[in-house]
Amino acid sequence: MVHPTMVIEISCLEVWQEISSYIDNGVDPELRARMEAHFKVCRHCSAILDGTRNVVKLIADGAEFEVPQGLRSRLYAKLDAQLKQG
Positions touching other proteins (CB under 8 A) are 13, 16-17, 19-21, 23-24, 26, 43-44, 47-48, 50-52, 54-62, 64-68, 71-72, 74-79, 82-83
| Shortest distance in whole angstroms from residue 8 CB to other proteins | 20
| Shortest distance in whole angstroms from residue 69 CB to other proteins | 11
CA torsion, ordered 41, 32, 9, 12, to nearest 10 deg: -60
Work out the end-to-end distance of the chain between its first and last CA atoms, rounded to an integer number of angstroms. Answer: 65
**Degrees (nearest 5) of the Cα angle 22, 54, 7?**
30
| Shortest distance in whole angstroms from residue 83 CB to other proteins | 6
